[in-house]
């Protein structure tokens, strides 16, 4: 029962932190950079077929 209360109070705190953006989110820019790295890696892999 205590552990359930502990989990519940932690979840409430986490959800509050989510709303307040306490843990910095991945930004649109971060996602774009990730996409670029992914595409470059893919092109590199494709290039490997021609070696």
Partner 1 sequence: MSHKHDVNKEIENEVYCGTLPVLPKERKYGFMDALLVLSGYCIATWSYTQGSYLATLVGFKQLLIGAFLAAIFMLMVYQLPVILSVRYGIDIWIWLRSVFGPKGNKIVTIIIILVNFPWYAVCCELFADSMENLLGLFGIQLFNGAHLVLSLSCVVVGTIIALRGVGTITWTTRILVPLLLLVGVAVVVVGFTSVPMDVIWNYQPELAGDADKTVNYVLTIEANFAFVITLVGGMAEVPRLCKSEKSGYYAGVLGQGAAGSFFVVVGAVMAIAMQYVTGQMVDDPTLMMATLSAPILGLSSLLLVAFANIGTQAVGSYIYGVMLKSTFKKISYKTLVLVLGVYVALLCVWGKITEYFGSFLTIGACVYAPLAALLFVDFFLIRKQKLDLKSAYELPGHNAYQYSKGFNIVGIICLALGFGFTLVIYDPIQGIVHNKILFMLTPTLASFIFTGVLYLLLSKIPGIRRYIRRDTYASPDKRPFDRAKVPPRQNLFFLPLMWLLCKMTVSPYKLKIDKHNMEGIKPPFLVYGSHNSFMDFYVTPLALKPYRANYISELEGFENFGEWIYRQAGCLGTRKFINDQSLIRNIARVIKRGDIMVIYPEARYANVGTNSHLTPSIAKLAKMLKVPVVTLNMQGNYLQQPIWNLKERKGARLHADLKCVVTADEVGKLSVDEILERISKELTYDEYKYQLENKIVIDDEWRAEGLHFPLYKCRKCGKDFAMTSYGNKICCKHCGDTYEMDELGQLHSLTGEVIHIPDWYEWQRGFVHEEIREGRYKLDIPVRVEALPNSVNFVDCGVGRLIQDNEGFSLEFDNYRSEKHETLKFPAKSMVSLHTEYDYRGKFGPCVTLSTYDDTFFIYPTEESRDVFNPTKIQFATEYLGGLYS
Residues whose CB is less than 8 angstroms from the CB of residue 34 and which lie 6 or more positions away in sequence, other chains included: 26
- Residue with tokens 């989110």, as numbered in its chain: 25
Q: Can you tell me whether residue 10 is helix, strand or coil?
A: helix
What is the closest distance, in whole angstroms, from the C-beta atom of residue 33 to partner 1 in the complex?
A: 9
Interacting residues with partner 1 between 4 and 43 (CB under 8 A): 4, 6-8, 10-11, 13-15, 17-18, 22-26, 30, 34, 37-38, 41-42
Q: Can you tell me whether residue 25 is helix, strand or coil?
A: coil
What is the closest distance, in whole angstroms, from the C-beta atom of residue 6 to partner 1 in the complex?
A: 7
Residues that bind partner 1 (CB under 8 A): 3-4, 6-8, 10-11, 13-15, 17-18, 22-26, 30, 34, 37-38, 41-42, 44-45, 47-49, 51
């Amino acid at each position: 029962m205590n552990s359930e209360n502990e989990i519940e109070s932690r979840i409430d705190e986490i959800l509050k932190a989510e709303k307040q953006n306490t843990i910095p989110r991945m930004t649109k820019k971060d996602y774009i950079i990730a996409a670029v790295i992914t595409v470059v890696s893919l092109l590199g892999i494709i290039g490997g077929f021609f070696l």
